[in-house]
A and B are shown apart, each in its own frame.
Chain A
């Protein structure tokens, strides 16, 4: 049994009549505390890259051909492939930002929907809800945004665009409301209902795109009309695809942070997530909190869909999301359900996605390697004990300052 599960029984350190010691935690300690939280995610990433390297070596045809006859040359070839692959990833995701900002903007472009969706899942986690339905909420949000984006003509940009973005939020919120109300009223578990609603949403989008209102004239396949320019998210830089969706995503992250940590509703969300019976004891309405959380979570996911359609794709098609809603679960986990963590995790995932295609072009290593690395990161994040064991990190739950809180009255 580990120390983690059996906290020790330390002796009291306080003395009779002693006032509570002042807060000794300086800014340094607070920052150190933050750094400690980064240890596991960073080590997880490093470990995933190392194992990814092994996978590259083992799947390198030159390595396999030579490993029997000339192990040295085989290894050299293997390492060459690893260098090529990771170099390609870096080239595609960062490159040389001073000469060409392109790769960086591509990374941020890919990170944008992941930030929204990651925030959606993280918000759910905070309230103790496992929203696996971000994918479906993305689709319904995209559908609503598209409807507004193609449906209103002659509106000025300053009216039309916010309306279209808001419609995206609304669509996702509606799609989050359904599992929320089902859970609150009937106890139906949100994991089941959101997964099932994902399928419903795919088919709703497919069906809608075959209706006259949505379908691009002259096409038989499900594809929408183009988003009107007045509802299009402007580009941030003239020659790059990166658009205002990123700014909205970053604002959403700030908003979610404020909601969670500075508002009464967030207080309720977190209390319900950490201890529902104490929340009930404190007079909070659990059902209402569940419904509201699912709606906001769904709305955030809906924004991912809206931002993608209004900023990047400019028309809605089925299967436009490469599983952002599921990557979002990983991103929320990697980001420890903190808005700032979600932003950085989403950028990391965006970089992997942005770098994957250039890597394949340069080295012939398939983009699937990126999926392998993502999967490995998630495994290590989900099993922090594994990472701690590998790197022999001691869990020091009881630190010096904390002993002051134990025992009293002596």
Chain B
């Protein structure tokens, strides 16, 4: 049974941290792009949506170029802080964050755009600064759409495979998440192990989808 629980625990840990990171960035970016048009907004939007359409292996490759030991950023992380993200669960978190970011961002932007701008203006005339407008008005009014996006991002992060494999590899007990464990079990001909892993990940993902669907439904 540890063959099941170790990758499950790792998957939940990676997905949780990835959702926190993607959530923070996705909500902030969604709010920023929903505010008002600016030059290059559609280009920024396209860049943020790119992880959804690019093959995960390509994202993994980009990340190696960026945060690998000799990467553009990675060499400084290594030199200054002694941090190496390749073949670590933290690296898997980065990969899952990037891949699930578009889901939070898209959901948050749509939710913020649905909030009538007059509520924010009313708050401003009543003395609120921009941070207060965001925390007391825009965020609470958009929270359902945001929560639905965050749940989808969590489900996506749980199922992440390609970019994670490129960045974090397949180290049992260290970076081997459920989806990678399934792959390895099938490769090794361990059918019952593959079946159990598949059932677990399917159940969790179905639960998340049902919950996010309910949240979106309650909005309308």
Q: Do A and B come together as binding partners?
A: no
